[in-house]
Amino acid sequence: MFGGSKNKAKQVKSKPAKPKRGMAEIDTLVGMNTKVSGDIEFKGGLHVDGYIKGNIQAELESSSVLSIAEQGVVEGSVSVPHVVLNGTVKGDVSARERVELGTTARVIGNVFYNLIEMAIGAEINGKLIHEPAEHASSVRAKPRPVDREEVVQVGTGKQVGSGKQVGKTKQA
C-alpha cells in the first residue's frame, strides 16, 4: 500500500540552463503571463517570456546574461554584459560583452555592443554603435521615447517602415 514500488511516481528534477561561453546560469524567470512595471536590477541570469515596462540593468563587471524569448517584450533600456534577444526591446540596448540577435529579434532603439551576432531576419530600428570592451563601461543605455522611424528587415532588404530604401536590394 504505502511502500509499493509498482506505482511509484518518478521525480523529475529540472536542471538550470547551462551557461554559454562563461555566461551566468539563468536563475530568474519572468513568465509568459507576467507583466512587470518598474526597473529591474539583477546579477546572474534573467530570462524574460513576459512583458517588462522599465529598465533592466545588471552589474557591468559581472558575467550576467539577459535572455528575451520570442514572446518577451521590454519597454525600456537594457544594460547587461550579455544579451540574447529573440523578442522585442523598445529602448536602447547596451552590452559590454556580447549581443546575440535571433531571427525574431526586434530592437526599436540603438544597440551599443562589443561583439554582435545577428541572424537573418533580426530587425533594428536605430543605430549600431561599436564600443570596445574597455570603453563600454562608460556607456549606459538611456531611456528614450519611442518614435516611428524606418524599420528594415536585416538580410532581406524588405522595407517594413517609412518607405525609405536602405542598402542595396536585388530586383527579381
Q: How many domains does the chain have?
A: 1
- Taking alpha carbons only, the member of 58, 87, 86, 88 closest to residue 75 is 88
- Which domain, by its residues, includes 137? 28-153
pLDDT tens for 126-152 read 999 999 877 544 445 555 444 444 444
| Residue 10 is assigned to a structural domain of this protein | no
pLDDT band at 19 (very low <50, low <70, confident <90, very high): very low
Residue 104 forms part of a structural domain: yes
Read off the pTM: 0.67
In a domain, 170, yes or no: no
Which tens digit of pLDDT belongs to each residue from 43-96? 999 999 999 999 999 987 889 999 999 999 999 999 999 999 999 999 999 999
Residue 72 lies in a domain: yes
